[in-house]
Structure 1
């Protein structure tokens, strides 16, 4: 199959191995995978900043040192690995993706840049099978139905990631900040149990509990280059900010264990369906009036 091209059009349905679905949508500026109306990945011009704020934040979290090796747990359309490959062409990157439909879609229709390889595997098992301290960066970006599953929220998972990182390596997590912040507080506490240095990129409104949003968590056994990350975020339209004083946020929350089986909270996003229905009814009424006057 050739690389997709052409104008914007109707969504193409992708059926996953568990029977759930996603939509592949052609936009003017690239391609989007959406699950339940939420954009999970956007693939556009690699020379331009990534479309999704979460990808820009994770790219900023890499800092300014070229990674020799990077592992990405979770793939989708490989927006972040492609951005890393554009910035650091010599980086060797491995993407671990469980869903065969996404692997096939990527390999057949969105060719991989040089330096990126894909493996079809369960990411937690893959991580635990690679404890050899061989990666400069590990990214955990695993969502199931817009939520992070328990296998990727726990102390055991973060410990496995620590073992797979080289000395001075960095763990980057695509996470969430919900109105209650309980999950975020516990996830930060989990990282602090394993790593000496932890920071978070988040929007002030999400941190204040005013809305549900993304959060990029960063952890390392070496100091994190705060100034470099803040410089990368400067002027970003998302207004994401690096937060380093985490004690007031964690506020005594305990770490997460596998036994907790803790999922991230369901996205508490505005429901626009009612407004869309009203708009459709209004258009029908206008069309009826026009027909009656003809």
Structure 2
């Protein structure tokens, strides 16, 4: 992977096809994609644990057995597929990414490891076109403006995912836990309608409603080895924990349908955009001083 750094590396603006933008920001340990002040993807040394807790959680959720064939709906900088490729080089992976600018970025700036194929297209349509029960793992990691769109929260979507999975296959969702947990409860209820086994990785503070955070949801028709996931999470600085008793959380919540057009809640996060701009301006000033001193 090419991760240029130092005085020659600078923040770049990425223009998306829908008119929105993102920032590609150099970091001492790699590169990050930042949207509305939130880091959505980070690339660094593949031999090191992924920088973002959400990526580490999804990697843990895949278990300790190499998936022969995996699909990732949503790509960004392909942090998770790259981590999978490093851990299990034999895994064949397909990434479906809607945004052409991100696909072009990964193909031209950050070369792909062997075994990863990237397709530009609508991930929901791709999922419904692959009902052949041929995938060992499907990961859904799609955010639009830091929210999960309705096409990837519904019963119809989860049903299509089950059809695309082998009997022992596993569905992994990068989701959220908001202060009132209403969305999370309904998403868990949706998964329970389709899959016999569902678990969740979440921080205790988010589960208690004290803060907005990520949640990794895991579903399968086959029993899920919770000990393998707990072992992978052990010692993680994020303090993410595996929750297997979901009945008190779901508590009668209704599944989500396409007709509901339900987005995940707006994240209640501090606005870091001003701080990021100041940090970049400071870095550029330091680089200028260094160049002048040479």
What is the distance in 2 between the residues matched to 1:133 and 1:114?
Answer: 24
Take 2:273 and 2:86, find their aligned partners in 1: how far apart are those partners?
38
Cα distance between partner residues in 2 of 1:275 and 1:12: 16
Name the CA distance, whole Å, in 1 between partners of 2:204 and 2:5.
Answer: 38
Q: Which residue of 2 aligns with 1:91?
A: 91
Give the aligned partner of residue 37 of structure 2: 37
1:181 and 1:207 in contact (8 A); partners too: yes
Alpha-carbon contact 2:34-2:41 (below 8 Å) kept: yes
Q: Hey, what's the Cα distance between the residues in 1 that align with 2:164 and 2:187?
A: 19
Partner residue in 2 for 1:22:
22
Deviation (angstroms), 1:10: 3.8
CA shift, 1:274, in A, is 8.9
Aligned length in residues: 276
Query: What does residue 256 of structure 1 align with?
Result: 256
Q: 1:194 & 1:168 partners in 2: Cα distance?
A: 14
In the alignment, is the contact (CA less than 8 A) between 2:233 and 2:240 conserved in 1? Answer: yes
Hey, what does 1:289 align to over in structure 2? none
Cα distance in 2 for residues equivalent to 1:253 and 1:113: 41
Q: Distance in 2 between matches of 1:130 and 1:33?
A: 29
The SS at the match of 1:46 is coil
Q: Residues 274 and 118 (structure 1 numbering): CA distance in 2 closer, same or farther, change over 3 Å?
A: closer
Tell me, yes or no, if the aligned pair for 1:196 and 1:222 is still in contact at 8 Å. Answer: yes
Q: Deviations over 1:136-181 (max 9, x none)?
A: 0000001001000000000000000000000110000000000010
TM-score (norm 2): 0.91
State whether residues 66 and 91 of structure 2, in contact with CA within 8 Å, keep that contact through their aligned partners in structure 1: yes
State the match for 1:280 in structure 2: none
Distance 2:275 2:19 in 1: 29
C-alpha deviation, 1:262, in angstroms? 0.2
CA root-mean-square deviation: 1.6
Moved runs in structure 1, 4+ residues, more than 3 A?
271-277
Aligned to 1:291: none
Contact 2:200–2:217 at 8 Å: present in 1 too? yes
Match of 1:202 in 2: 202
Query: Residue in 2 aligned with 1:288?
Result: none
Distance 2:260 2:77 in 1: 31
Separation in 2, partners of 1:130, 1:213 = 31
Cα contact 2:37–2:273 (8 A) shared by 1: no
Match for residue 178 of structure 1? 178
Aligned to 2:127: 127
* Alignment of structure 1 residues 144-163 onto 2, 5 Å: 144-163=144-163
Q: Is the 8 A contact 1:68 1:136 kept in 2?
A: yes
CA contact (8 A) 1:7 1:27 kept: no
Shift of 1:4: 4.7
- What's the secondary structure of 2:242's corresponding residue? strand
| SS of residue matched to 1:72 | strand
Partner of 1:101: 101
Please name the residue that 1:221 is paired with: 221
For normalisation by structure 1, the TM-score amounts to 0.91
Partner of 2:12: 12
Q: Determine the structure 1 residue equivalent to 2:140.
A: 140
The CA deviation at 1:36 is 0.5
Show CA shifts across 1:155-214 (max 9, x none).
000000000000110000000000010000000000000000000000000000000000
Which structure is larger by alpha-carbon Rg, 1 or 2?
Answer: 1
